[in-house]
């Protein structure tokens, strides 16, 4: 019996699932980019802390701006260098 056959006949155990605040959308980052991994980690953290309903994301310039496409939370896009100031204003 070949090893390929054995692998196909076994049921795969699901180890993890998509975080609920991560949209079901294909990432469009460059191959090898870690933005997708970071978006997933942020989504898992938001879900595990149960703060989705009171979370606002800040999307700066560059590839990080695509966060509004992938995270199912309230988002605001801000110009370069302004995320800390905008986040502080929103918090206050």
pLDDT tens-digit map of 27-59: 889 989 999 999 999 999 999 999 999 999 998
Percent helix / strand / coil, the chain, rounded to 5: 45, 10, 40
Could you tell me whether strands 74-77 and 56-59 are parallel, antiparallel, or unpaired per DSSP bridges? parallel
Is the Cβ–Cβ distance between 63 and 80 less than 8 Å?
A: no
pLDDT tens-digit map of 57-86: 998 888 888 898 999 999 999 998 899 999
CA distance 81 to 65: 13
């Amino acid at each position: 019996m070949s090893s390929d056959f054995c692998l196909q006949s076994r049921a795969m155990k699901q180890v993890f699932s998509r975080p609920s605040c991560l949209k079901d959308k294909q990432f469009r980052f460059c191959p090898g980019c870690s933005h997708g991994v970071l978006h997933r980690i942020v989504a898992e953290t938001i879900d595990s802390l149960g703060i989705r309903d009171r979370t606002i994301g800040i999307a700066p310039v560059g590839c990080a701006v695509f966060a509004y496409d992938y995270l199912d939370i309230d988002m605001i896009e801000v110009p370069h260098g302004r995320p800390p100031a905008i986040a502080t204003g929103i918090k206050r």
